Amino acid sequence: MPAPFLPQPDWPLRMPQRLAGRLLWPLHERLRGRETAAHLKALQRGEQAGVAALGPLHQSRIEALLAHCAEHVPWYREALAGRAPELGNFPILERDTVRENGRALVADNATGPLLPSSTGGSTGRPLVFWTDRVKEARHNAQKLRFRGWFGIRPGDRQVDFWGSPIELGKTSRLRVIKDRYFLNQVVLSAHDLTPERLRAYAGFLGRFRPRLVYGYPTVIVRVAQTLREHPELARGWRPQAVVCTSEMLYPQVRGTIGEILQCPVANEYGSRDAGLIAHECPHGRLHIASEHVHVEVDEPDAEGIGDLLVTNLDGYAMPFVRYRVGDRGRLGGEAGTCPCGSPLPTLDRLEGRRNDFLVGAEGRRVHGSAANYVMRELPQVAQYRLVQRADLSLDIEVIANGAWGEAQTRTVTEGMHRILHANVPVRLELVESIAPSPSGKYRWVESEALEA
């Protein structure tokens, strides 16, 4: 893997945004064989047409994809066993099924190059699948449509804080130069965030002056805190927006980023395998990209919350139908009622992955955010990681930015007992740093008890 990018103080600052957006970005997409600009315009026209037009479009796209699966995808042909290609007749697709039957999920009429992709998932077990240029282009168009809600346009300066080896493995010198000098896009590694590197990143933001900051919230908040400690590095810069992805965006992290950078902070929800699922609007509601995906809730509980099943409507080369993404949530009410004016439906609630939940007394499931409220009571907590073991005991690593003694440990222990309704063992350790997962993401809360 090439060395991660580190900003250099003598780099020229930036390409003029208008030139990058109106000439270089469209040219780049055409050379890549992607009709991203045309898809973006179609999405924008669809927004203007409203709910009445979006519903029939969504339904027709579902029907077309399911008919394609029944006719051209070997695994689905066998799974349907002659039944009609209706959504309810399709089995729920699990990750292990994709791992075991990958090639049988590829359409026998797939045209154009199949593009390999992969994701490590929450367990670190790689999932390999294939995509195509059309799916890529429509995915990118969705991102741009949502960012347009915050005044971000193609060609605007952008910095991504990213840790996936998939991206970092592609950062050849040629690609870095192309993205940085022609497209105004810079990817900064989320790994090895030493104080020196954080200061270098903060200084680069002040010089490059991106309109969009994108990436892992746990990384962005640390860069923002560095800017608060060294305000001279910002040189008066403030972004137009921050978009967080790939991790749960907890309220205190959102609040800290917004307070320091003085801009809107939005949540993007999606994955490599399922696609871009939903994005927050300026009013804070999570809108489903219904031209791109269909979302169901499997076996909802009394509150309407259950496992999310996602059908990617653009994935004709390797369709994922009723795919269990591993997150839980609840669908919102009637589409078109958000104050932002978007006709897109909403996710009323998003609760994260299954092992983001803790197990309490009598098998009671407690969302990880409850532990977060305990930890945020202590101003000394700069960062933490909580792992619940199979015996329900808790191991907590804490980076403290202030004095820590028995009183603080007791507050944490009593708080955890309170939310779990169980006096489980709590082992707390003060550490200098907390390592991210191999992908560069930081997991605040993780439970092995739900997997036992």
List domains and CATH numbers for the chain. Answer: 17-286 (3.40.50.12780), 360-451 (3.30.300.30)
At 123 the pLDDT is 43
Q: Is the pLDDT of residue 164 over 60?
A: no
DSSP state of 437: P
CB atoms within 10 A of CB 166: 14
Block residue for tokens 């998939």: 166
pLDDT at 234: 96
Confidence band, pLDDT 50/70/90 cuts, at residue 28: very high
Statement: residue 359 has pLDDT above 90 = no
419 CA to centre of own chain: 27
Q: Report the chain's mean pLDDT, rounded to a whole number.
A: 88
Q: Residues 291-299: what's their mean pLDDT?
A: 97
- Is 418 within 8 Å of 452 (Cβ atoms)? no
**What is the token pair recorded at 181?**
């000098």
> Would you tell me how many other CB atoms lie within 10 Å of the CB of residue 288?
23
pLDDT at 421 over 80: yes
Place of tokens 């560095």: 226
115 to 106, 126, 133, 168: CA distances (angstroms): 12, 16, 8, 17
Q: What is the mean pLDDT of residues 282-310?
A: 96
Which structure tokens are listed for 385?
A: 């990681």
Instruction: Considering only residues 121 and 444, tell me which one the structure prediction assigns the higher pLDDT.
Output: 444
Instruction: Report the alpha-carbon distance of residue 164 to residue 409 in Å, rounded.
Output: 34
Regarding beta strands 185-189 and 158-162, do their DSSP bridges make them parallel or antiparallel, or are they unpaired? parallel
Q: Determine whether 273 is exposed, middle or buried from the number of CB atoms within 10 Å of its CB (0-12, 13-18, 19+).
A: buried
Is there a contact between 129 and 98 (Cβ–Cβ < 8 Å)? yes
Tell whether the model's pLDDT for residue 367 goes beyond 70: no
Gap between the terminal Cα atoms of the chain: 35
**pLDDT-derived band of residue 172, with 50, 70 and 90 as boundaries?**
low
Q: What is the mean pLDDT of residues 344-359?
A: 80
pLDDT digits (tens, 9 = 90+) for 241-281: 999 998 888 888 899 999 999 999 999 999 889 999 999 99
Burial environment of residue 260 by CB neighbours within 10 A (0 to 12, 13 to 18, 19 or more): buried
Instruction: Give the model's pLDDT for residue 162.
Output: 83
CA distance 3 to 262: 32
Question: Is the pTM of the predicted complex or chain greater than 0.85?
Answer: no
Lowest mean pLDDT among 3-7, 29-33, 402-406: 3-7
Compute the CA torsion angle 226, 231, 233, 234 (nearest 10 deg): 100
pLDDT score of 433 more than 60 = yes
Name the token pair of 357. Answer: 């939940």
Of 343, 329, 246, nearest to 289 by C-alpha is 343
Can you tell me the mean pLDDT for 224-238? Answer: 96
